Amino acid sequence: MDKKQPLLSISMLVSNNRRDTIEKCMESLVPLMKAVPSELIIVDTGCTDGSVDIARKYADKVVQFTWCKDFAAARNAGLRECTGEWFLYLDDDEWFDDVSELIAFFQSEGRNQCDALWYLQRNYDSFEGKSYTDTYVGRCVKMTPETKFCGKIHEWLEPLPCAILKTDAFVHHYGYVYKNEEERQKHLERNLTLEEEAVKENPNDLRMCCQLVQEYRVARRYEDAMALCNRCLTDVEKTDKGAFIQYLRLAIPKIYKESEKYEEALVAFEELEKNYTLLRQTRLGLFYDKALNYGCLKQEEKLVQAFLCYLREFDKPSKKGEPEFPVMDFAQYQSELFRQRAVEYSVTNMICGEVFGYAKEVFSYIDWEKNARPKDMLTALFRCYDETGDESLLEEHLPVVLKIEELEQQVYGSLQSLYEKNRDKKEKQDKQLADLESLQLEQGNFPFFHLLYTESKGVTTEKDLEAYYEKSDRKYDGEVVAVLLFNEKLVLPILHRTPMELYREGVSVFVKGKSLWQLEAAFEKLAFLKKCYPEEWMSFWYLARMGMAEKRLLLAAEEQKEVRTYLKDYMEAGMQYAKELYRPELLCRQNRYGLPANLRFICIMEEAMAQEADFAAWGEGLKMAAKEYPTLLPVVKALLAEKDQRKSGNSSAKQELLALAEQLKTVVRAQLAEGNVGEAKAILSELAEMLPEDEEVKALLECANK
């Protein structure tokens, strides 16, 4: 590395209270300085806590500077020592996340085509770093004899650049996060004092006036901010496109908004848009903040319209020769983060305001790879499709979304949920099938939807069935049984490859929502099965009857009426089914672990009800039954409640309920560990009713909902 003729000079001020960040800052520069001929100039502004000693290990030169409350003077002290073609400065409380883009820039001929490189400053709102804003900063320029810093505080480089290249490189910056309110106020007062002094010394320094307006807004001194804006804008032409004039004009409606004068803000936004010649930066800020103002007024449709104006403007190429300036929050509107947030705000308010007609355009701006909330956006996409029936939403986005691994399962689940939701709306279901068929996708549950589509048209072939078994994720085998149960040609090959538990699942799906007479009619239509599969033929009927009995039992438990009567019907139907399909020895206590959960419930419940006179044995049996099949937990609760009403063993019944709850918590934890979130949630919903104040139940619910 030739230190005498560096390509890049880097300069940094070092002050006290930066020991926790200066090492990160230095280390983040090492890859850049290794890849690009560089020099690092440190300016010691009076450091006494050892921070400068850390920086000295990395620096080529340390300049001593006596602090005089003038940041530009301190920066210029370092700048005078720099000899590179390019100059970069940063603070000791920020560090680069990745410098690969900067390295690529300095190693390319592209650096000769511009005179400034902008990167992003990521300003965090808290030490946790979960929330932040991105703002472009102009801290890397091509050196000229005239290059210098101006401004006592919030210093800037002059002359202002003309040809700018923007990068996605960014620095982490926690400079606006404070340990306490006292620290925040101290920092604010320091800035205000220096800025007010600078404006008093030079009232026509528009950039410093902009900085002071910004500081007044932070301090909530809105009257002072408005007065300064109006003073600076007096007698200024409406066509003046100076960046600082435009910033001050945009600040006026923002001040109204921040002081919760939303109607006045709206009038000011409209006047600015209608009556002034605006830079692209100003238009972006106008549309973005006007949209947020509409949000404060609960006008969701107008918010979406304003954000669409912002997104259209964002995606337009900049006009040749139009100046751009990294002035405070004036530059943040050009960041990809703000574009992404504009899409997210639009989607959220489109859903809240039920203005789904904007969905196609709003989602056209989404970047699924970069979006911070892709799962939420995907949920909204399906909601918009369901409401509008616009198949282009699926055509344009699903092929892209399915390339993102973390979203695949949500796509499949959402499609299935949407189909189930519209079970009683055949036209909607048919349209969904037709729309998915047109996509010709073959992974996940798309082959299953293809079977639904062909069967709805009466054209399903063995080839379609084979495609399902070969290409799908095989999570819908039970539903395939339900769909093709009455297809005499195809149901036999399905049964050949379907385990008994999946057959039961398929029959259960078919039974869902059907009345007894509908099931009797279906049973007659299955007569063709009797020759080849007499057991399946009878099992359909028994399983259907048991399903109907379970629904009636749950309804009785909910209403707490005739629970014992319906429980008896359910157990009789279940035992009839079990005796028809299983060998007698499997129904014995020692072997019944091999039975399905609902049949285990019935066996245990039969034993418990037979010894009801012994409260302890009865209660223990109920707990065991509920643990085996939590779906019927409401039945156990109803039986215990009935015990309370009879005033027999009142306290004991409550104790049994509490003991049962503790057992079910164990079941829930096991299910969550195994990833059975749906089953866990079903039990937790019951536990939340039983133990509304239980902190462990609340914690488990929170875990299940993540």
pLDDT digit string, tens, across residues 459-493? 999 999 988 888 888 888 888 888 888 888 888 88
394 exposure class (CB count in 10 Å sphere: 0-12, 13-18, 19+): buried
Domains and CATH numbers, the chain: 1-177 (3.90.550.10)
Report pLDDT digits (tens) over 305-353.
999 999 999 999 877 767 677 766 778 898 899 999 999 999 999 999 9
Percent of the chain with pLDDT over 70: 97
Report pLDDT digits (tens) over 128-149.
888 888 889 989 999 999 999 9
* In contact, 564 and 571? CB cutoff 8 Å: no
Q: Which residues of 383-393 are buried (b: 16+ CB within 10 A; e: fewer)?
A: bbbbeeebbeb
Instruction: Give the pLDDT of residue 94.
Output: 93
Residue 259 has pLDDT above 60, yes or no: yes
Give me the chain's average pLDDT, please: 88
* In contact, 400 and 367? CB cutoff 8 Å: no
Whether this model's pTM surpasses 0.75? no
Q: Which residues of 642-657 are buried (b: 16+ CB within 10 A; e: fewer)?
A: ebeeeeebeeebeebb
CA–CA dist 651, 654 (Å, integer): 5
Residue 275 has pLDDT above 60, yes or no: yes
Torsion (CA) 155, 161, 165, 167 in degrees, nearest 10: 0
Residue 154 has pLDDT above 80, yes or no: yes
| Cα three-residue angle 497-503-504, rounded to 5 degrees | 160
Residue 687 has pLDDT above 90, yes or no: no
Q: Token pair of 418, please?
A: 């949407």
Q: Which of 219, 229, 264, 235 is CA-nearest to residue 250? A: 229
Report pLDDT digits (tens) over 505-515.
777 777 777 77
Report pLDDT digits (tens) over 163-190.
889 899 999 998 888 888 898 899 899 9
Per DSSP, the three-state class of 513 is coil
Per DSSP, the three-state class of 30 is helix
- Looking at mean pLDDT, say which of 48-52, 63-67, 557-561 comes out highest: 63-67
Report pLDDT digits (tens) over 365-406.
999 998 889 999 999 999 999 999 999 999 999 999 999 989
646 falls in which pLDDT band (50, 70, 90)?
Answer: low
* In contact, 436 and 447? CB cutoff 8 Å: no
Instruction: Give the pLDDT of residue 43.
Output: 95
* In contact, 82 and 11? CB cutoff 8 Å: yes
One-character DSSP codes across 57-97: TT-SEEEE----S-HHHHHHHHHTT--SSEEEEE-TTEEES
First to last CA, the chain: 51
Instruction: Give the pLDDT of residue 322.
Output: 72
Residue 593 has pLDDT above 70, yes or no: yes
Instruction: Give the pLDDT of residue 251.
Output: 95
Q: Which of 494, 426, 486 is CA-nearest to residue 458? A: 486
CA–CA dist 404, 410 (Å, integer): 11
Instruction: Give the pLDDT of residue 568.
Output: 93
* In contact, 88 and 9? CB cutoff 8 Å: yes
**568-583: average pLDDT:** 87
CA–CA dist 575, 572 (Å, integer): 5
1 falls in which pLDDT band (50, 70, 90)?
Answer: very low
618-623: long-range pairs with CB below 8 Å, 24+? 619/652, 619/653, 619/656, 619/659, 622/656, 622/660, 623/656, 623/659, 623/660, 623/663
Residue 656 has pLDDT above 80, yes or no: no
Residue 410 has pLDDT above 50, yes or no: yes
CA–CA dist 402, 372 (Å, integer): 17
544 falls in which pLDDT band (50, 70, 90)?
Answer: confident
654 falls in which pLDDT band (50, 70, 90)?
Answer: low
Residue type, position 323, single letter: P
CA–CA dist 454, 635 (Å, integer): 41
Residue 2 has pLDDT above 50, yes or no: no
Percent of the chain with pLDDT over 90: 50
Torsion (CA) 284, 288, 289, 293 in degrees, nearest 10: 150
Instruction: Give the pLDDT of residue 580.
Output: 79
Instruction: Give the pLDDT of residue 48.
Output: 87
